[in-house]
Amino acid sequence: MFEDSLVESGGRLRSKQKATTAISFALQIVFIGILVLLPLIFTEALPKQQLMTFLVAPPPPPPPPPPAAAPVKVVKIQSELDNGQLRTPTAIPKKIEMIKEDEAPPSTGVAGVVGGVPGGVPGGAMGGVLGSVISGVPATVPKAATPQRVRVSQGVSQGLLIHKVQPAYPPLARQARIQGTVILQALIGKDGGIQNLHVVSGHPMLTGAALDAVKQWRYKPYFLNGEPVEVETTINVNFTLAGG
């Protein structure tokens, strides 16, 4: 009878343990689910600074080291000279290069003619210019261009004067006792006539008479390199009361 009570109590205890284990396992699953869903529901409660540190991109990897410098190979050239004398080779070269010299240009001379030019002298340069040919060609010197206008002094222009008209003394200037020299700038044409005349200096009461008289003067044409040219010069006309 005692054994039957032990068997019945053991079966009840085992059934209670299984139920308790199942309930505990279910509660743990519910608790873990709540812990997982809380951050997804209440996102403002999460630490933002810590989350931002997780989103920062990692720094780029360091650049690869530069390649090592290529070793410099020093080639030592052996000279064939030893103290100014040829050195005996230690080995016979397998390949001997043939040195080909440049060929001389063909001669342009005529057979039987010294130096390639008729009438040349022995020892002359090949293809040289014959002196007689140069002497036979007349040298032409370019002719310099003749200027169309030159400037001469007053003394030179006076030597070319062939017709001179004395100026009439103005009556008002004579009454006012005015005298002096009128300086004129003149251009003598190729035919010897006055083409351009203007006053440089002088009393206004005397310049008119001086211009009227000089306009009638005539000069010899001035030749330069065999050609007549225009001449620029100055002309002085003197007015004196004693000579008037």
CATH of the domain at 221: 3.30.2420.10
Number of helices (H), then strands (E), belonging to the chain: the values are 6, 9
Residue that is last in its domain, among 56, 78, 97: 56
52-110 per-position pLDDT tens digit = 665 667 788 888 888 887 777 776 666 666 666 666 667 776 777 666 666 666 655 54
Q: In whole angstroms, what is the distance from residue 190 CA to residue 220 CA?
A: 9
Burial of 222 (0-12, 13-18, 19+ CB in 10 A): buried
Tokens of 92: 């016979």
Give a yes or no: residue 81 inside a domain: no
Would you call 184 helix, strand, or coil by DSSP?
strand
Asked if residue 142 belongs to a domain, the reply is no
15 belongs to a structural domain = yes
Question: Is residue 175 a part of any domain in this protein?
Answer: yes
Question: Which pLDDT tens digit goes with each residue over 187-242?
Answer: 998 888 998 888 999 999 999 999 999 999 999 888 888 888 898 999 999 999 88
Counting the structural domains of the chain, the total is 2
Query: 205 lies in which domain range?
Result: 149-239
Last-in-domain residue among 56, 77, 95: 56
Instruction: Note whether residue 176 is domain-resident.
Output: yes
**pLDDT confidence bin for 152, thresholds 50/70/90:** confident
109 vs 173, more confident: 173
How much is the mean pLDDT over the chain?
75
CB 233 within 8 A of CB 157: yes
User: Do the strands 194-201 and 218-219 form a parallel or antiparallel pair, or are they unpaired?
Assistant: unpaired
pLDDT at 176 over 60: yes
Q: 15, 36, 56 — which closes off a domain? A: 56
Q: Extract the runs of DSSP E, i.e. beta strands, from 88-240.
A: 149-151, 161-163, 180-188, 194-201, 218-219, 222-224, 227-239
Whether residue 188 is contained in a domain is answered as yes
0.75 exceeded by pTM: no
Beta bridge partners of 199: 184
Residue 171, domain member (yes or no): yes
Let me know if residue 30 belongs to a domain. Answer: yes
Confidence at 111, pLDDT banded by 50, 70, 90:
very low
Angle at 181 between CA 180 and CA 182, to 5 degrees: 125
Q: For tokens 């001389």, what's the residue?
A: 104
